[in-house]
Amino acid sequence: MDKNQWAYSENVKKHFMNPQNILQIEEDKYPADGKGMVGSPACGDMMMVLIKVANNRISDFKWKTFGCASAIASTSALSELVLKDGGMTLEEAYKVTPEDIIRELGGLPSNKIHCSVLGDKALREAIDDYYNKNNQKNPSQESVSRVVCDCKNVTEEDIRMEVLEGVTDFEKMKEVTGASTVCGKCEQDVRDTMKKFVEQYYKDDIYNPGE
């Protein structure tokens, strides 16, 4: 791919120009079993995911997205991923990660990785909503994430989400999460945890498109 012509992979382009599984009717005419809505217009990204469930599998997935090309392409790719081969089970779908979406898209530029985070979040919200509506407990709901900073109650998951939002610098991490700003005993743990996720998400040779 010629990087000068298009900053994204061919797959992003395909999903962006021709998004799949968009909700094309009014929302109230689509009887969804679960709904997830994440993000906000102020942040520049907002996604709505509607799912139907049959026999513990996601039998339909419709969405709408406000956002940039990678946000739109991410939701479209996610919808195909979830619906493949008769649909994922709820357990499988609950475990979809941003990496899965990025892989499906053939990579995203590193400053765009945060745009792919919302899709799986919206999907999990829709699944939680489905269980709630049916008065069931979500068996996949993870026990709470490990607390890294006791003073500020910052978890591994909090740090992971910030890394995905583009925070890769320790000072910035302190600023946005508050971690390591009180007693400071957690500094090394915060640094190590952050480093682990930075290496996981920003390894150029894995996610750089077209190389």
Residues marked active site are found at: 43, 115
| 83/148 with CB nearer ligand FES | 148
Owner of token pair 């750089």: 208
Please, what is the minimum distance in Å from the beta carbon of residue 35 to other proteins? 11
The CA distance from 170 to 76, in Å, is: 33
| 5/135 with CB nearer other proteins | 5
Specify whether the CB–CB gap between 74 and 61 falls below 8 A: no
Which of other proteins, ligand FES, none binds 68 (CB below 5-8 Å, type-dependent)?
other proteins
Which of other proteins, ligand FES, none binds 26 (CB below 5-8 Å, type-dependent)?
other proteins
Please, what is the minimum distance in Å from the beta carbon of residue 57 to other proteins? 25
Please, what is the minimum distance in Å from the beta carbon of residue 8 to other proteins? 8
Residue closest to 38 by CA, chosen among 109, 115, 102: 115
In this structure, what token pair is assigned to residue 156?
């591994």
Which of ligand FES, other proteins, none binds 46 (CB below 5-8 Å, type-dependent)?
other proteins
Contact residues for ligand FES, defined by CB under 6 A: 149-152, 179-186
| 6/170 with CB nearer ligand FES | 170
Residue closest to 50 by CA, chosen among 139, 130, 104: 130
Bridge-based pairing of strands 147-149 and 57-66 is unpaired
Contact residues for other proteins, defined by CB under 8 A: 16-17, 19, 22, 24-27, 37, 41-48, 64-72, 111-112, 114-115, 165-166
Specify whether the CB–CB gap between 180 and 186 falls below 8 A: yes
Indicate the DSSP class of residue 3. Answer: T
Q: Name the CA dihedral angle for 74, 155, 200, 96, rounded to a multiple of 10 degrees.
A: -40
The length of the chain is 211
| 172/185 with CB nearer ligand FES | 185
Which of other proteins, ligand FES, none binds 184 (CB below 5-8 Å, type-dependent)?
ligand FES
Provide φ and ψ at 149, rounded to 5°: -110, 110
Please, what is the minimum distance in Å from the beta carbon of residue 92 to other proteins? 25
